Structure 1
Amino acid sequence: MTAPTDLSRDEALRTLRDQVTTHVALPGEPGYERCAPWNVAAPVNPAAVVLATSPQDVAATVRFAAAHGFTVTVQATGHGAVGIGPNTILVQTSAMKRVSVDPLNGTAQVQAGARWQDVIDAATPHGLAPLCGSSPAVGVVGYLTGGGIGPLVRTVGLSSDHVRAFELVTGDGRLLRAAPDENADLFWGLRGGKATLGIVTSVEMEMPAIAEFYGGALYFDGSKAATVLHAWRAWSATLPETVNTSIAIQQLPPLPGVPEPLAGRMTVSVRYTAVGDLAEGERLLAPMRALATPLIDAVAVMPYAAIGAVHADPVDPMPCNEAHALLSELPAEAIDAVLAAAGPESGSPQALVELRMLGGALAREPEHRSAFCHRDAAYSLTVIGALAPEIAGAVVEHARSVTHAVAAWSTGGQWPNFAPSYDPARPARVYSEDTLHWLAALADRYDPARVLATGQVIRTLV
């Protein structure tokens, strides 16, 4: 696609308002600030912001961009933002947040701007469990198009495996429906391919009947890190699929909302969920409770609506850096490597270094195959640091050293929703060679003018 000159761009953008029925904000105008992502470290400076209220707004914006040499990207919350340049129009979907629950069939129809909390609020009164990630503040569509690794992933599988259908706008400006029996190629690629094949305007998904769970987190003092991590490694290997767990070395700042026992110090958090026999879930956690006296024991029977309490992710926007690795195994030597890189004696600047147990239902292929790869990983490693100006460089470099420390056990793979970046080598880590080929071929078919060829999308080289 040929970029417009500054003059033609400005002239064209003044006519964009004539093509849509919603507010369009150019730089410096009211509403343009809505482009700011949750991860405020990402440089987001689009040519214009379209505050979409309907699929027709999205389609009209895509057609306008194709006619005038712009690219288009989409954002609901901006948790996975990677930066947007001045030749790209941003479609902001947060006003499109209608949620319609069908309690009889256990499904929900969800618009593109909805957050998981919106779906939880609508579904949990019916005893249904929207399969969100660790944070209910994240947008539904971005999470599902990246696959969806949630707090119950070993039990229920990938969240996108529970999608029944998408409605989307393709790069050629068409409004289509994608399901196993309709545009099945799009349905395959939208589950894992992020925005490669189109801008999703709504999604229909199944929700299992889970009214409550036994779970939460145990928080131990950082001085116990070696004891707790090694015990967690051996203990987690014995758990059934009804149980999910991760462990995190945390350093939370002394800010409002951070519990006093956790603020300004290193702690270790054992995250835990169990469904089904909740008494059995409590019994299975007993060995970890017995390791040491927790600073906080926040594990109990909870309604599904409290699922966000397990990881207690931050809600307010922040500048952050993320690194990620998938592991084929987790021997004791790998735990020692993590402790050396990020434990009490390491001088680590990271806010969080997490190991998550995988397997179970995640590792099994679903009824309808998808573009999501690397289901066979045994554990994941996630490193998140706050990019405060005085330590930003150290945070980024140290994060690399943490993933390098576990390189001997790494599969070399990554997942779409973790550690977003423009690194040209990243797609080969996220997708298999065959999946890359098919995503690129489908993108060429549905977006021949390359209107959506920006951000974390797969395209053939030109």
Structure 2
Amino acid sequence: MIDRREDGEMIHVNGPVLRPGDAGYDEERTGFQLAERHRPQVIVRAAGPEDVRAAVAHAAAANLPVAVQATGHGVAVPAEEGVLISTRAMTGVRVDPAARTAWLEAGARWGQVIDAAARHGLAPLSGSSPHVGAVGYTLGGGLGLLARRYGYAADHVRAIELVTAGARRIRLTPDDELFPALLGGGGNFGVVTGMEIGLVPVTRLYGGGLHFPATADVLEAWRDWTATVPDELTSAIALAPMPDLPVVPAPLRGRHIAHVRIAYTGDPSVGERLVAPLRTAGPVLMDTLRELPYTESGSISNDPPFAHAYRSETAMLGRLDAATVFDLAGPGAAVPCVLQVRHLGGALAKPSPAVVGHRDAEYALYVLSVLDGHDPAAVEETHRRLVGALGGSGTFLNFHYGPATAEQVRAAYDADAWLRLTRLKAGHDPDNMFRFNHNIAPAR
């Protein structure tokens, strides 16, 4: 037990309490996203829900804002004051194979959940990277590898444990008014300390990728092909400049590539036939398609596991203008861009209590640029030009890495859902204690 006096109050917690200058402070405040780092007055590294409750109680008594971080992939607004609750030590995962559910503590990563579920012939609706925090991903909506077959991860949440702005620990189920607001509403209503999610009976995939030289023709071919595939097939395409380094496979080294990513839950031979038309889109530089266990699903996108600084913009699209995308985010872009477009539809279009918006969109696009050596203002201008030219229907905040304007946050939700969210915020967090996020301001 550690008691640490802060501003005349005592914080009674089991985990460490850190202030600027303390050993471990810089490490604890730093997450995967290095462009935005929290600089709070105090960090509580929570060992469990009671530590979270104590930290929120302290913040409420001292009239301090609260930030929350597990892995730090999606830091939106860095805390320059107040209390940072680090949940990275809360990593427990429990699977109930009979109920096909898993209980996740706030800091659990998808890789842990995937491995635990696989022992029972099950899988979570995880994303492209096993390194990402499962709870934060799901609170943002969660657009994963099996999305067209099963929908958003947020659609499969069974229960949530939350510490409120009043420092109460509560358990929420789908019958509770606040429950759907958390699913897509992010961390705006409290600190989620645990979550029960549904699992699906998937053990293997036909998946991997086809790598082509990046051209508008390849992008158009993928777009046209997506109109022909069943819901069991979820895919994306990425345009990316590959560095000329030994770590990069030789066929891709130093090239600007188009990477088509495939996850199909049906018979592998059928998957092979479904993908066959894509092979004519251009010269195939590398082919990694195969039958693979779900435990290796992270190899499909092969997202980088190391922390770095980046910015991104997103758009939900009814149609995909391949020529415009290639012109503004391809090899000729003003700054280097990694662009990804994900095919939506299928189960993603079905109604759900979760507040994830724009379920009628056909594609989700995000454009990301690493900031190493690049002017952030130039990066942001390049991204804005692309998103503005495409005229999308809204945003998807799971993929918006970095600060978002009030308009961009509002554009993530349907109009009725937005009104409901602002009223709930006014009722549950009227002082906007939880504002270091893609913030939903309380209704006046």
* TM superposition score category, shorter chain reference: over 0.9
Unaligned runs of 5+ in 2: none
State how 1:328-343 maps to structure 2 within 5 Å.
328-330=318-320, 334-343=321-330
Q: 1:382 aligns with which of 366, 388, 392?
A: 366
How far apart are residue 256 of structure 1 and its match?
A: 6.2
Q: So what's the TM-score if we normalise by structure 2?
A: 0.94
Q: State the distance in 2 between where 1:398 and 1:87 align.
A: 31
State how 1:49-448 maps to structure 2 within 5 Å.
49-181=43-175, 184-222=176-214, 225-255=215-245, 257-330=247-320, 334-344=321-331, 346-366=332-352, 369-407=353-391, 410-411=392-393, 413-420=394-401, 421-448=403-430
How far apart are residue 13 of structure 1 and its match?
A: 2.2
How far apart are residue 136 of structure 1 and its match?
A: 1.2
SS of 1:322's partner is strand
Letter in 2 for 1:58: V
Q: State the distance in 1 between where 2:78 and 2:376 align.
A: 21
TM-align CA RMSD: 1.8
Conservation of the 8 A alpha-carbon contact between 2:327 and 2:333: no
Q: State the distance in 2 between where 1:256 and 1:323 align.
A: 30
State the number of aligned residues.
439
Distance 1:16 1:266, change over 3 A: farther
Distance 1:178 1:255, change over 3 A: farther
Q: State the distance in 2 between where 1:430 and 1:258 align.
A: 35
Distance 1:288 1:252, change over 3 A: same
Conservation of the 8 A alpha-carbon contact between 1:350 and 1:399: no
Q: State the distance in 2 between where 1:164 and 1:226 align.
A: 42
Conservation of the 8 A alpha-carbon contact between 2:429 and 2:442: no
SS of 2:364's partner is strand
How far apart are residue 14 of structure 1 and its match?
A: 5.6
Conservation of the 8 A alpha-carbon contact between 1:62 and 1:451: no
Letter in 1 for 2:323: D
Distance 1:199 1:177, change over 3 A: same
Q: State the distance in 2 between where 1:258 and 1:44 align.
A: 32
Q: State the distance in 2 between where 1:291 and 1:431 align.
A: 35
Q: State the distance in 1 between where 2:76 and 2:107 align.
A: 18
How far apart are residue 205 of structure 1 and its match?
A: 0.7
Conservation of the 8 A alpha-carbon contact between 2:205 and 2:291: yes
SS of 2:260's partner is strand
How far apart are residue 446 of structure 1 and its match?
A: 2.2
Q: State the distance in 1 between where 2:327 and 2:121 align.
A: 44
SS of 1:286's partner is helix
Identity rate, percent: 39
SS of 1:185's partner is coil
Unaligned runs of 5+ in 1: 1-10
Conservation of the 8 A alpha-carbon contact between 2:211 and 2:257: yes
Q: State the distance in 1 between where 2:22 and 2:375 align.
A: 33
Conservation of the 8 A alpha-carbon contact between 2:94 and 2:104: yes
Task: Verify: 1:31 aligned to 2:17, yes or no.
Answer: no
Letter in 2 for 1:360: G
SS of 1:261's partner is helix
SS of 1:425's partner is helix
Distance 1:133 1:256, change over 3 A: farther
How far apart are residue 403 of structure 1 and its match?
A: 1.5
How far apart are residue 347 of structure 1 and its match?
A: 4.0
Conservation of the 8 A alpha-carbon contact between 2:40 and 2:84: yes
After the TM superposition, which segments of 4 or more aligned residues of structure 1 sit over 4 Å from their partners? 14-17
Distance 1:115 1:365, change over 3 A: same
Which segment drifts farther, 77-86 or 356-365?
A: 77-86
Conservation of the 8 A alpha-carbon contact between 2:35 and 2:310: yes
Distance 1:202 1:400, change over 3 A: same
Conservation of the 8 A alpha-carbon contact between 1:214 and 1:278: yes
Q: State the distance in 2 between where 1:459 and 1:341 align.
A: 33
